Amino acid sequence: MDFYPLFGALLLVSFRSASAAARPHVVFILADDLGWNDVGFHGSEIRTPNLDRLSAEGVRLENYYVQPLCTPSRSQLMTGRYQIHTGMQHQIIWPCQPHCVPLGEKLLPQLMKEAGYATHMVGKWHLGMYRKDCLPTRRGFDTYFGYLLGSEDYFTHVRCSAIAARNLTRCALDLRDGEEVAAGYEGVYSTEAFGQRATSIIEKHDSDKPLFLYVALQAVHEPLQVPERYLAPYSFIADRRRRLYAGMASAMDEAVGNITLALRRRGLWDDTVLVFSTDNGGQTLGGGSNWPLRGRKWSLWEGGIRGVGFVAGPLLKRPGTVCRELVHVSDWLPTLVGLAGGSANGTKPLDGFDVWSAISDGFASPRLELLHNIDPLYVDVAECPGTGRRLPLAERVGSGFNVSVHAAIRSSNWKLLTGYPGCDVWFPRPGHSGSGGPRSDPLKPVMLYDIEKDPEERNELSDAFPAVVEFLLSRLEKHQRSASPIDFPADDPRCDPGPGGAWGPWA
């Protein structure tokens, strides 16, 4: 036997194994509008056995934050930068806005691609599509299957949107395979379609190349739609919206289970890091629950921004634990690129931190402060039950930060809110009548909470700790000085896809 060819073959296998171990497969699953009280491991009546098992075997993130809306969370996931630094601090990207994540920003899939990864995306984009350069396949993904806007019908995959300049409402298909319109999926429930595409990608993946798979599920965002078979376990839920929502969550849980099963069957699981996250707090108007946290989606209260999240996979050094270190959605870019052995040197200055050692090893998080947002144009678009109040404009105090502005910042155990944070109700636990607790004192232009002791934000402490208030206002002022101008353009009527068309680039 010739020794040298055999030695070379063994060396090649060894190199491939070491390379795979050094560059794990990364699967990132993002749920839409999943509330704090909408998973079994937080005590929900909704059954999520796959999420419960994965989180129990992995590391649950119990001090994890996202943004109160979908586009902001997704933009910070993809850029590793606060939304004030991309001009995206106000609301979301609406269907006819000529806007997307600035093209000068280098996104997570581009960095993973540079690190040698195959990059695939399935599901909701919602980061702008008015021109082709904004599309997922132009921003670093090898393949894409999903929808470009913020919501759509789960079965027809049609989105209806008003086009004010043309005095009409246009209903059009929003589903793409690559950059082409994906026809032929009418009647296929989107959670199942996206789950099946994700498992197909896994099954066909070349295991010698590291995989980055981003699955942005439509569930559990409105409209409340689900196949009847998922409703059967929830006949005990009297509220129809909550019952439908529960069925949708179960369908999502099943999809996550199928994705992890595909990873195991393909032999990829042992070298996989799986991240699960919501994009914002639950929308109580659409069946979601953030109990016992205050507020909901669209608000800077904990119910709008404290996210359900966990990391799973055999590469974790302390599986079966809970991480209570401060982690934010902007931290995933430097964390995952670091795991991939890549470099973030090509990005603009990051606001995120590499938090892998905090998650996997149980070390302290490098993140000590978190800017939740600063949005001078904030408007709460939905009625807040029991109150129609809006704070009057307030005088600047102390540091000079305009405390009438909708803003919030976290530093260590402290959280400061200014302006009107959004709907301030403690919504009751599903199935329980009445309020979620006693009403708080009237809102103030500046509010301070010790979040570690008071995660429900019931005990306002600004009068007791004026020095903390002054310090955090000075931090808000510093962040505001670094903010980019808000980019929130007026609708462009050229967005109209016309009768029988599909939503997509027009510029």
Question: Residue 330 and residue 313: Cα distance in Å, rounded?
Answer: 21
Residues with Cβ within 8 Å of residue 25, at least 6 apart in sequence? 210, 211, 212, 213, 263, 268, 271, 272, 273
Q: Spell out where 21-106 has E strands.
A: 25-31, 59-61, 64-65
Using an 8 Å Cβ cutoff, are 120 and 100 in contact?
no
Question: Residue 69 and residue 359: Cα distance in Å, rounded?
Answer: 25
Question: Residue 263 and residue 55: Cα distance in Å, rounded?
Answer: 16
Indicate the pairing of strand 59-61 with strand 321-323: parallel
Please count the residues of the chain: 507
Spacing of C-alpha 337 from chain mean position: 18
Using an 8 Å Cβ cutoff, are 489 and 98 in contact?
yes
Is 328 noted as a catalytic residue in this protein? no
Using an 8 Å Cβ cutoff, are 490 and 96 in contact?
no
- Residue 492 to residues 126, 165, 166, 238, 506: CA-CA distances in angstroms? 17, 8, 10, 43, 9
Question: Residue 381 and residue 441: Cα distance in Å, rounded?
Answer: 23
Which H helix or E strand runs over 5?
helix 3-22
Question: Residue 448 and residue 434: Cα distance in Å, rounded?
Answer: 26
Is 126 noted as a catalytic residue in this protein? yes
HSE on the CB side for 330, CA within 13 Å?
Answer: 25
Using an 8 Å Cβ cutoff, are 300 and 62 in contact?
no
- Residue 20 to residues 143, 319, 334, 338: CA-CA distances in angstroms? 22, 21, 19, 14
Buried-state track 37-59, b at ≥16 Cβ within 10 A, e below 16: bbbbebebbbbbebbbbbbbebb
**Catalytic residue from among 70, 100, 323, 384:** 70
**Catalytic residue from among 126, 221, 406, 479:** 126
**What are the catalytic residues?**
70, 126
